Amino acid sequence: MENENPGEVFVAFDRVQKSYDGEELVVKDLNLAISKGEFLTMLGPSGSGKTTCLMMLAGFETATYGDILLDGKAINNIPPHKRGIGMVFQNYALFPHMTIGENLAFPLEVRGIDKSEREAKVMNALSMVQMESFAGRRPAQLSGGQQQRVALARALVFEPELVLMDEPLGALDKNLREQMQYEIKHLHDQLGITVVYVTHDQTEALTMSDRIAVFDDGRIQQLASPADLYERPENAFVAQFIGENNKMKGKIESKDGDIVTVRLDDGSAVQSLAISAHETDEKTTLSLRPERVFVVKEGQSFSNCFDAKVEELIYLGDHIRSRLSVCGRNDFIMKVPNSSDNHSMRKGQSIRIGWSEQDCRALDAS
**Boundaries of every domain in the chain:** 9-237, 244-363
Question: Per mean pLDDT, which range of 171-180, 284-293, 344-353 is the poorest?
Answer: 171-180
pLDDT at position 194, please?
Answer: 96
Query: 156: closest CA among 182, 139, 131?
Result: 131
Q: Round to the nearest angstrom and report the end-to-end CA distance of the chain.
A: 26
Question: Does residue 362 register a pLDDT over 90?
Answer: yes
**Residue type (1 letter), 310:** V
Beta-strand relationship, 246-256 and 194-199: unpaired
Q: How far apart are CA 112 and CA 280, in angstroms?
A: 67
Q: What is the DSSP letter of 297?
A: P
Query: Architecture of domain 244-363 in CATH?
Result: Beta Barrel (2.40)
Query: 102: closest CA among 150, 47, 171?
Result: 150
Task: Name the superfamily (CATH) of residues 9-237.
Answer: P-loop containing nucleotide triphosphate hydrolases (3.40.50.300)
- Where does the chain have alpha helices with state H? 50-58, 100-110, 115-128, 144-156, 174-191, 202-208, 226-231, 236-241
- Using 50, 70 and 90 to split pLDDT, how confident is the model at 273? very high
CB 104 within 8 A of CB 111: no
The CA dihedral of 196, 201, 202, 208, to the nearest 10 degrees, is -40
pLDDT at position 298, please?
Answer: 84
* CB atoms closer than 10 angstroms to residue 116: 8
pLDDT at position 309, please?
Answer: 96
Question: Per mean pLDDT, which range of 159-163, 277-281, 330-334 is the poorest?
Answer: 277-281
pLDDT at position 338, please?
Answer: 84
- Using 50, 70 and 90 to split pLDDT, how confident is the model at 1? very low
33 burial via Cβ count (<10 Å: 0-12, 13-18, 19+): buried
* Model pTM above 0.85: yes
pLDDT at position 277, please?
Answer: 77
Q: How far apart are CA 106 and CA 157, in angstroms?
A: 10
